[in-house]
Chains A and B, each alone.
Chain A
Amino acid sequence: MNTADNRAVDEIFSEALALSGEERAHFIRRRCAGDEELERQLISLLDASEASDDALAQRFDTAREQLWRSVLGDEENAGEDLSGQRVNAWRLVKRLARGGLATVYLAQREDGAFEQTVAFKVLRRGLDTDDLVARFRAERQMLSSLDHPSIARILDGGALEDGRPYLVLEYVDGLPITAYCKANRNDVRECMRLLIQVLQALHHAHKHLIVHRDIKPSNILVSTEGHVSLLDFGIAKLLDPAALPGASTLTRTGVSLLTPGYGSPEQHAGRPVTTASDIYQVGQVMYELLTGERPFDGPRQETDTSTVQPSRTLRGKPLYNKVRGDLDAIVGKAMHPEPARRYASAVEMVADLESYLEGRPVLARPDTLRYRLVKMCKRRPWLLPVLALGILAVVSYVVTLTLYTQELRIEQRRAEAAQTFMVDLLRSADPFVPADPDRGRDITVVEALDFGVQRLETDLHDDPELRASLLASIASVYGSLDQFQGAIVLQEEALALQRGLYGDRSQPVLASLAMLAKNYRVTGDYERAIRYYDEQLAVAQDLYSADHPSVGVAESAAADMQSALGDREASAALYEQGIRKMRQAPAEHSRILINALVALAQLQSSESHQDAMASLSEAQQLATEVDGSDSLSMALVHAQIATTSSQHGDYERAAREFQSSIDIYESRLGSDHGATLSALNNLGVHHMRTGDLESAEQLLRELLGRREQKYGMEHREVANAAQNLGMIIGRQGRFAEAIPLHRTAIEIYAATLADDHYIKAFPLLSIAYAELQLDNHSSAEGHARQALALLESTAPGTYPAGVAQCLVGLALEGQGRLEEGRAMVEAAHKHPAIGATPEPYRSACRVPAPAP
């Protein structure tokens, strides 16, 4: 239809509009005169003219507004340039960037004080409203409360002559993380290490209750040395406005300031922003690092529940296999549409990335299992640490690691088998409900695992790979529950399978060797332990370059062994070597590095207080940064600081530090975990050393009770506690009360230790001494002789041997055999190590005080 026709139609249309009802109908019929096409057109135009124009108007209103914003944004980009100007002490050299709110200049210090290049950030002209000025001030305050190597420090601040505020920040010369990774040939592992730095900086901010809210590649710069800086806290938000005076005006959601496509779904929906929003954004950056693309073009809707999977865009590319599996799972978890189902914290995501880097199982895992576990944990919070250590690892290990090993069909079947296995395990009549509520808690977890092991005996023989990973995972859970024998059996089976599957020189084998070496050492099977430690070190050296942090891990493990063997020098040297290597990647190996530093400090304590404290403060800093101040690593550090302080006479600090370690263990592991109990014991011994016998007795009684409950009556730990409690009671002169405790120790040792174990001599000595004090000389002689015989054969030349000989002499004297007795005592004085005898034996044996 041409223009003339259109005009003709319009003429009739206009006339018809002026009429209504019947008149209009008549008019149309008349003018159309049977032209159906014309009539149809007219009716449709008349209908449209009556339609509400709201929808149309709204569509254009939005478009108009958005385009206006865009026009103004572009105008701004061509706008103000303060380059060359001087503001107070700063000379603005050139414009670096323009953000939504501020322009950033490269600037130099001009007051001649010293040379300094900085970033000078000034609020854009026309934006200096009260609200934005307040926001700018808030950024300044927030930044000054943060102190982290990966967050640019604030150096100065003030206002331009026109009143616009400015900030002077550390200048970061780097590339956006995406560009950096691209320029460095996209080494995925390297990029993930950078991302770990980002998360650590973020964790620091989160700890100060600051949410960044605008994490995107252009806000993450990487220097040529690979140092990461997180920039632009411009729209950051303080979670607790009360902590920052005057910040309460900034509690808005900040939607309008978001960079499109980078906000989390809840940010776009205008819901409250939490640290989980930052995690989402880091996930998004990770996606972009892996694929070179952004996951979504526009904002992601809250209703979009699809799982984000970077590997989907990588099909057919070389990176595909690297990304599929763990990395997919990590991104998927970080970018979960529901904030509550993302990583609970930046450190949790760091841990998963580290797990990925070290080839360990990641925590990101399918929802069904996770939910099952989380539900259980909510009912029984004490389970959390145990589950975190192990069962979650089993699940995710199975589901993610096995997902990308072979071709699809096998994987799927395997994943299904694994999932069924775990779900069954967790479903088995809810294994964590104790059948008998009075029974110990750990036992029920162990029962659940035992059930799993039973299943493994019959199932999954046709899939050695899955079988090996399940065995290894369950073994690690056993290990974390102090069930070392069970751990060893399963781990040995896993190791045998792994050797066949991956070869002797492989990462899975390395991991199993490390686990076995440690478990054998802990159970006292040093011969096997040494063999495995040697192999672990050899495999690590074979798999990695000589200076690689992983070799350091193996060296530090070997040092643990040397330390257990008592070779202090060899052990210290190995720790030092290992520590040097692990320092290259401190966050990645934080736990092992902290362990090594603490162990080294223990060795250094007797030589140099200063060296020991230096190692400990490095460990403490690392623990604070990486694991948090209430982490298990931190508990270990506290305990060693306590011991070292105690050795150097700082008893007050020692008691404080011991208590800190106990607090952490109790809250993280529960009151009857082995680590909690050891910590209690250490504080008790400390009280004993400092003469606070009452506190010591109270603590050790508590400890004995908990150990009996945990281990039953026949356990070495119970014997140790009974022996120590007996000594403390004896020190207070209540010898008759002490003797039964020593007897308990003797009985348990008899049942659990080899016939000729020297430890058995200690309760014998204690009893002999107590009986002497009670004038029960003949019985004392008997016990002292037993101890002497044992010590002369197992520990000749040590001071206990001397003490035993002396106690025999004293018992003889007490029975009137004075000469015989004195001769024994004098012979004891000739004993080579007698000078080391502690009280009360020293005075009893009339050993002269050591020369000052």
Chain B
Amino acid sequence: MSDGEAEEKSSVSDLLAAVDRGEPGALDELVAAVYPELKRLAHFQLSGERPGHTLNTTAIVHEAFVRLASGDGRWNDRGHFLRAASTVMRHLLVDHARKKRAEKRGAGQMPLTLEDDRYATEDDSLAVLALDNALKDIAEIDPRLEQIIECRYFAGLSVNDTAEALGMAVRTVERDWQRAKAYLLKAMDADAR
């Protein structure tokens, strides 16, 4: 069994590396591994709706880790998991936002069922897509900045968690976050014009 564990461990970091390299299928595999638990927790959180209630993605990510780590042992590196969860969340939301945009353009003026429209607005989709685009430009300058923003904005991680996820010193993340923020603000500014 201990051999199996070791192998699983390496496969998570391999998978993350493969995602970073942009290997085909790697992201899908990561999503399949992480998404169900994230979704279940998000669902759980949202079902207890209260007015003004917000979705706490950080809590979801941490809770998901606790659950997965106590499972098959594949996820015993918290940093890896945080990183994976951030990537999956970005992928999920961007993908969804694109779909929404496409539906909006393709569909006639009559919404089929209004429930489809229940949650996200056009603006929400646009905001996420703009962020995704800005990240791609920022990655050209320094891929680490993209990862930091991904962790912080898509998963809602704190600076400390982000440091853990990316295996960096907190101080470095703090300084890089300043750079990331500067580029992000500029990108969003340009986007707004």
Contacts and interface: CB of A to CB of B under 8 A. Distances in A.
Interface string A253-297: 111110111100000001000000000000000000000110000
B51 A56 contact: no
Contacts of B118: 69-70, 73, 100, 259-260
Interface string A87-113: 000000000011110000000000000
A775 interface: no
B125 interface: yes
B130 to A, nearest CB: 9
Given A64-B153, A67-B97, A68-B93, A56 B185 contact: yes
Interface in A8-56: 10, 13-14, 17-18, 44-46, 48-51, 53, 56
Nearest to A252: B51
A71 B92 contact: yes
B53 A66 contact: no
B63 interface: no
B39 interface: yes
B128 A63 contact: yes
Contacts of A65: 54-55, 57
Nearest to A13: B179
Interface stretch (A124-132, A193-201, A803-811, A833-841): A124-132
B115 A100 contact: yes
A75 B141 contact: no
B140 A73 contact: no
A64 B93 contact: yes
A458 interface: no
Contacts of B183: 45, 48
Interface string A713-757: 000000000000000000000000000000000000000000000
A63 B179 contact: no
A53 B141 contact: no
Contacts of A69: 46, 55, 118-120
B186 A256 contact: no
Interface in A105-153: 126-129, 131-132
Contacts of B119: 66-67, 69-70, 72-73
Interface string A482-502: 000000000000000000000
B47 A66 contact: no
Nearest to A216: B114
Contacts of A75: 39
A67 B48 contact: no
B107 interface: no
A257 B118 CA distance: 9
A67 B47 contact: no
Contacts of B48: 129, 131
Q: B interface, how many residues as a size bin?
A: 35 or more
Interface in B110-143: 110, 113-121, 123-125, 127-128, 131, 140-142
B26 interface: no
A126 B179 contact: no
A59 B191 CA distance: 14
A67 B109 contact: no
A306 interface: no
Contacts of B96: 67, 70-71, 74
Given A63-B128, A98-B115, A259-B114, A70 B182 contact: no
Contact of B47 (A3, A7, A129): A129
B128 A67 contact: yes
Contacts of A49: 178-179, 181-182
B109 to A, nearest CB: 7
Contact of B182 (A45, A100, A257, A261): A45
A67 B125 contact: yes
A305 interface: no
A629 interface: no
Contacts of A61: 54, 156
B191 to A, nearest CB: 12
B181 A48 contact: yes
Contacts of A64: 55, 57, 89, 93, 128, 153-154, 156
Interface string B69-110: 000000000000000000001001100110010000000011
Contacts of B113: 97-98, 218
Nearest to B112: A218
A66 B110 CA distance: 22
Contacts of A128: 47
A17 B175 contact: yes
A60 interface: yes
14 contacts: A14-B179, A45-B186, A51-B185, A63-B120, A64-B57, A70-B100, A73-B119, A97-B113, A129-B48, A257-B49, A259-B115, A261-B114, A262-B114, A298-B121
Interface of A: 3, 6-7, 10, 13-14, 17-18, 44-46, 48-51, 53, 56-57, 59-75, 77, 97-100, 126-129, 131-132, 216, 218, 252-257, 259-262, 270, 292-293, 298
